[in-house]
Amino acid sequence: MTSERFLVTGALGCIGAWTVKRLLDENVSVWTYDLPGDPHRLRLIMNDASVARVKFISGDITDFENFERAVVDNRITHIVHLAALQVPFVRADPILGARVNVVGTAVVFETVKRHADQVQGLAYASSIGVYGPPEMYAAGPLRNDALPHPTTLYGVYKLADEGIARIYWQDYKVGSVGLRPHVVYGPGRDQGMTSTPTKAMLAAAVGRSYHISYGGTVVFQYANDIAAVFIRAARAKGEGAPVFNPSGSAADMSEVVAAIEAAAPQMKDKITFEPAALAIPSHVDESALEAKLGPMNWIPLAEGVRQTIDLFRGAARDGKVNLEKILA
């Protein structure tokens, strides 16, 4: 075992589950902090023996005393903060969204401030949703210093999180690294506005037709890869509160469908998509991130899609995935 002791908030979600898996694969001690729930995404990508090694802590991210106790009592050295409500849930309940996405982040930073001698690294999730539609920006990949212009409350709250990080460095010298994921795909990505490409991969794995809810070109990031970047960010040394745009595979939705059909030829013409594009930038420049963390390793889209479909086939066979709930 290493001397690191990681706490992952939002570990029952997609990126969180993959973050936990990667850390366990490195033989790192991992604690999770979430509301009580079924760790079905962890079981989807890990065997029972690995899941048994996870130390689960139940708690509300807005409960400062409980979260602080979890960090102190377990001598946590690194935090990956992913707990958040996604766009549809924030839209449905904006006040709860603000509590979880903004107050929850303040709880994490305040805890790190009070225990700076113990916590050595903090990474947190912002979002590509802090930006406006592509036509707002110059041609070419989106620069890391491009002006934010969120078009959803979710994006507004994530931008507030970046402000929290900046002020905690300015006033208290709490260092952090923020990351703005784009369209994450892969096993475990079963909810949220941009999850339908992954649902199409699940549908293909079990021979069902599926219609993806949007089109256009976006940056796709395999969940396992973006989890690795969060871990590297939590381990990064240095000062300040930088926020970075990770890249991945910029691809049109037609390329995603082609990758699905290549991995599941029997699904030819059975996976379709809505032509309307999302109002988010379609290409990003990750040079600032690489200057901080070093070269990134992104799996090619076709290989990520193939791995996702293969895992879904086994999961469906073993009863590890709720097809009717996800594909409804």
Count other C-beta atoms under 10 Å from residue 327's C-beta. 15
pLDDT attached to residue 238? 81
pLDDT attached to residue 284? 95
Q: Is the entire prediction scored with pTM above 0.85?
A: yes
Question: Assign residue 248 a region: left if phi > 0, alpha if psi is -120 to 50, beta otherwise?
Answer: left
User: Amino acid identity of 41?
Assistant: R
Alpha-helix runs per DSSP H in 208-252? 223-235
pLDDT attached to residue 1? 55
pLDDT attached to residue 223? 98
pLDDT attached to residue 237? 80
Residue with tokens 């958040």, as numbered in its chain: 84
pLDDT attached to residue 159? 98
Q: Is the dihedral of CA 81, 86, 91, 93 positive or negative?
A: negative
Per-residue model confidence as pLDDT tens digits over 16-74: 999 999 999 999 999 999 999 999 999 999 999 999 999 999 999 999 999 999 999 99
Please name which of 115, 135, 159, 155 lies closest in space to residue 216, comparing C-alpha atoms.
Answer: 135
pLDDT attached to residue 328? 84
| 234/169 Cα distance (integer angstroms) | 15
With pLDDT > 90 as the criterion, what percentage of the chain qualifies?
96
Residue with tokens 């989106």, as numbered in its chain: 142
| 171/182 Cα distance (integer angstroms) | 30
Q: Are 27 and 3 in contact (CB under 8 A)?
A: no
| Ranges of the chain with pLDDT below 50 | none
